[in-house]
Each structure stands twice: as structure tokens, then as C-alpha cells.
Structure 1
Amino acid sequence: MIEVYLFDWGDTLMVDFPGVSGKMCQWGKVEAVYGAREALETLAKTAQIYIATGAADSTELEIKFAFERVGLSQFITGYFCQENVGFLKGSPEFLSSILNKLNTPLANIAMVGDNFEKDINPAINAGIKPIWFTQKNIENSHDNVKVISKLSALYK
């Protein structure tokens, strides 16, 4: 049973609008990915939810504020980013540092993200459950990777 979900931020839980730069908490428009609220609300009943983001220009508080703007922060236990982890997302140290802080058996942790190189591959290497959220029609050649196209697939 999954006790902890680590979620990527941009294009996994909140829309990362093309061509918009800067800190998401300061964007004129922010939007949750379709189905994010329902997924987090459902999963938070039985698991802890953390954000594990590579957003290098945002602090933990700024990330939390962006989630507050779309009404998702109430379901999130904590936020991991370059500022408080000390490593770039995608590096082996990033996920390793987070897993050490969680103090949860690896078999009970899942990483949900849209980027294979920065979310899924590190999850595979760390020994946690990788869940690839993608709208692309891909051929999954990895037996241990769950591929979903809707966040509702996490709880249905």
C-alpha cells in the first residue's frame, strides 16, 4: 500500500503554461491540471502527499503559495525543492535526500510525474514506485512503470 506520494509540480498538478516564465506564484493566471483536486483529495485520505519539484527559482513558501492559489495546498503534507533539498531534481542525490527524510519503506512510496528523465528514471533507480503521467501515446517498455493519462487512475 502506498503511504507517501511524491508529485511533480509543473504539468503534473499545475499547468505550466508555455512561454510564461518566472515564479509560478506570481503568474497572472495559475491553473490546476484537470483532475488534480479530486486526486489529491482522495489520496490524502490514506496517504501523505508531497511535492518534489525541480523549480529552481521558487522557494518552499512560494511553491506553497502557488498551490494555495488553486486550492490544492490543503491536501499537501510538504514541499521538496532545490532550496530545501540542496540538489537539482534529476540528480541521484535529490530523491535520495527526500527519501531519507520521509523515513518510510521504499515499497510504500510512489513518484508521480510527467518527465521520464527527471521523475520516472530517478524513481526506478531509487527503488520506489514510478507512475508516469503522460498524455502522449507511448509504448511502455518498462514493466515496473505504471503509465496513466488521467490523475483519476491513481485511485480508481
Structure 2
Amino acid sequence: MPHTIKALLFDWGDTVMADDPAKHEPMVTWEEVRLVPYIHPALLQLHKDYTLCIASNARDSNAELMCQALERVHVRHLFRYAYTSSELGAAKPEPLFFSSLLAKIGLSPAECIMIGNDLQKDIAGARAAGIRTIWYCPPGSLVATDGRHLADVIVRSMKELPSAVRLLASKGS
């Protein structure tokens, strides 16, 4: 019997929020914080049908600081859950990261889709945990063509995300 997708698990940096690797302080303290292009309308559409969760390896922020940054760009209310590797006791792509996350939100791997920009940490890690995946690979990003098989779906723009989620959700488990 197929499982219904109930939750979308989002990476944070360069999947929801535009990251600046040159900065080494919590994002909430940056002068400017920005969403990645087109993620806001996608989140508005998706949160109506799915539980949204941020699941990040954020080095400089814990979940509380991450949520404060999301508040600055007016999307915090769209996410029911927010966790970083410090709260989960492991970092992506470690299996413990995903098993701890699933335990906290009370769902099985078959009920979730992971959306992220890092092929190894987000996509390979989630796939190894039995979670379906959407790889966000915008034009101009470094593409590991030999790893494309790891993702269930690849989106080049967040404009494509709602239809990619619907596609995966319609496939069942």
C-alpha cells in the first residue's frame, strides 16, 4: 500500500536561504538575508498540503537562530519544524541525522521528501535513509553529473518545485 507524502524536509542554506560562505556568524546577524529565487511562492503553495520542516547542518546557527533568520524574510510561519545537526546529534549525510529527524517529527521515510542543494549531504544521505529526494541544482551551480542518479527528481528553479513534489507524491512508495 503506498504511503502518502506528509512532510517536505528542506535544507536551509542555498535551498531556502541564500548563503554566503564567506560569513562565519549566525545568518540572523547579517545585514541582509535573502531567500533563494522563487522559493517564497513555492513554500506558500506547498505548506497548504504538506508539513514543512527545515533540516540543516548549519554551522553558525542553532534552530532558534535559524528561525529568527526565517522570520526576517517572513517565512518562519510556513515551517512547522526546524532542526540543525546540533539538535539532532549528527550531521548530514549520517544516517543518525535522518533517523533522529524522522523520530522528532513522527513520520516514516516513505512519508517524506528531502529537498536540498548538496548532492552528497542532502540527497545521498536522505536516499540512504529511504527518503525520496528532490535535488535543487540551479543554473551555474557545480553539477556532479555522475551523481544525478542519486536524486529522484532534479529541479533547476524553485518555480519547478511544486510540480516536482506532486510528481513524486503521485508515485507512492
Give the alignment partner of residue 5 of structure 1, picking from 3, 8, 15. Answer: 8
Tell me if 1:35 matches 2:38: yes
Once the two structures are overlaid, the 10-residue window that deviates more, 13-22 or 64-73, is 13-22
| TM-score, with length taken from structure 2 | 0.83
2:168 aligned residue: none
Tell me if 1:154 matches 2:151: no
- After TM superposition, list the pairs within 5 Å mapping 1:113-128 onto structure 2: 113-128=116-131
Tell me if 1:57 matches 2:43: no
1:75 aligned residue: 78
Q: Distance in 2 between matches of 1:19 and 1:5?
A: 29
Once the two structures are overlaid, the 10-residue window that deviates more, 9-18 or 102-111, is 102-111
Q: Does the CA-based 8 Å contact 2:18-2:33 persist in structure 1?
A: yes
| TM-score, with length taken from structure 1 | 0.92
Once the two structures are overlaid, the 10-residue window that deviates more, 6-15 or 79-88, is 79-88
Deviations 1:73-105 (A, max 9, x none): 010101011221111232111111111222223
Deviations 1:92-148 (A, max 9, x none): 111111112222232220000000111000111011111100124664641752100
Structure with higher helix content: 2
1:103 aligned residue: 106
Q: Please tell me the root mean square deviation across aligned C-alpha atoms, in Å.
A: 1.7
| Percent identical residues | 32
Deviation of residue 9 (structure 1)? Answer: 0.5
Tell me if 1:89 matches 2:86: no
Q: Distance in 2 between matches of 1:71 and 1:24?
A: 15
Deviation of residue 18 (structure 1)? Answer: 4.1
Structure 2 unaligned residues grouped into runs of 5+: 164-173
Once the two structures are overlaid, the 10-residue window that deviates more, 89-98 or 40-49, is 89-98
- Relative distance call for 1:26 and 1:41 in structure 2 (3 A) is same
Report the secondary structure of 1:19's partner residue: coil
Q: Does the CA-based 8 Å contact 2:54-2:83 persist in structure 1?
A: yes
Deviation of residue 43 (structure 1)? Answer: 0.5
Structure 1 unaligned residues grouped into runs of 5+: none
Q: Distance in 1 between matches of 2:28 and 2:100?
A: 25
- Relative distance call for 1:37 and 1:87 in structure 2 (3 A) is same
Deviation of residue 8 (structure 1)? Answer: 0.4
